[in-house]
């Protein structure tokens, strides 16, 4: 009796699946919010293509897309039978890094994003201090270059070069002065050279 019910349930599901392919296939897929990614690439990753069964599409199809560092969020809508709309929000490159990558404003590493980044160039030695660099770029919006070394951090502005052994001192200094020349910020004071 149980085997008969299971077989009937499977036949019903198979019939519904085939009927959904015939009666409600995906006819139109629109993708909104693209800036860096390409439409065909998005559709290939999600597998949402014309001819797919519209009734069976779920948000799980977006999981491979959400693994891409360029994708901040993705949502699928079904505005009508056969219609699918993918709404993406891509991350924006902010700080260009050596080697061609960039940091997004949320700290995500974006491969190949350096040419699109609008922030100051980043140079340095050692592990990348992501949050420190993002804080410096926000505190010094006119910065042209940010450098980090084991000795400390440099912020290069059009009219000044500022050094401090740690980011906290640079952030405090950004709120209190309009620097010019060579500026060295330490916990015990500030040294300025023209």
Say how far apart CA 60 and CA 92 lie, in whole Å. Answer: 24
HSE at residue 84, side-chain half, CA atoms within 13 A, is 28
- Could you write out the DSSP letters of every residue in 89-125? EE--EEEE-TTS-EEETTS-EETT-GGG--S-EEEES
Using a cut of 0.85, tell me whether the model's pTM lies above it. Answer: no
HSE at residue 152, side-chain half, CA atoms within 13 A, is 16
Please answer whether residues 90 and 35 qualify as being in contact, where contact means their C-beta atoms are separated by less than 8 angstroms: yes
Burial (0-12, 13-18, 19+ Cβ within 10 Å), 152: middle
Phi, psi of 40 (to 5 degrees): -65, -35
* 3-class secondary structure, 13: helix
Tens place of pLDDT for every residue, the chain, 194 residues? 678 777 777 776 766 666 555 556 888 999 999 998 999 999 999 988 888 887 778 889 999 999 999 999 999 998 888 899 999 999 999 999 998 999 999 999 999 999 999 999 999 988 999 999 999 999 999 899 999 999 999 999 999 899 999 999 999 888 877 778 888 888 888 878 87
Phi, psi of 96 (to 5 degrees): -75, 135
């Amino acid at each position: 009796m149980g085997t008969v019910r299971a077989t009937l349930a499977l036949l019903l599901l198979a019939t519904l699946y085939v009927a959904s392919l015939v009666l409600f296939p995906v006819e139109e897929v629109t993708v909104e919010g693209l800036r860096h990614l390409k439409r065909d690439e998005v559709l290939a990753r999600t597998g949402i293509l014309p001819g797919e069964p519209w009734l069976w599409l779920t948000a799980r199809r977006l999981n491979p897309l959400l693994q891409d560092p360029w994708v901040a969020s993705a949502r699928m809508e079904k505005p009508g039978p056969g219609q699918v709309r993918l709404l993406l929000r891509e991350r924006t490159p902010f700080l260009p890094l050596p080697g061609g990558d960039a940091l997004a404003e949320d700290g995500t590493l974006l491969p190949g994003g350096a040419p699109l980044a609008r922030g100051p160039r980043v140079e340095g030695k050692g592990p990348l201090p992501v949050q420190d660099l993002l804080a410096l770029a926000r505190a010094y919006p006119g910065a042209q270059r940010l450098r980090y070394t084991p000795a400390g951090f440099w912020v290069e502005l059009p009219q000044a070069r500022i050094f401090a052994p740690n980011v906290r001192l640079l952030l405090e200094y950004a709120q209190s002065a309009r620097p010019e020349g060579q500026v060295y910020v330490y916990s015990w004071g500030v040294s300025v050279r023209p």
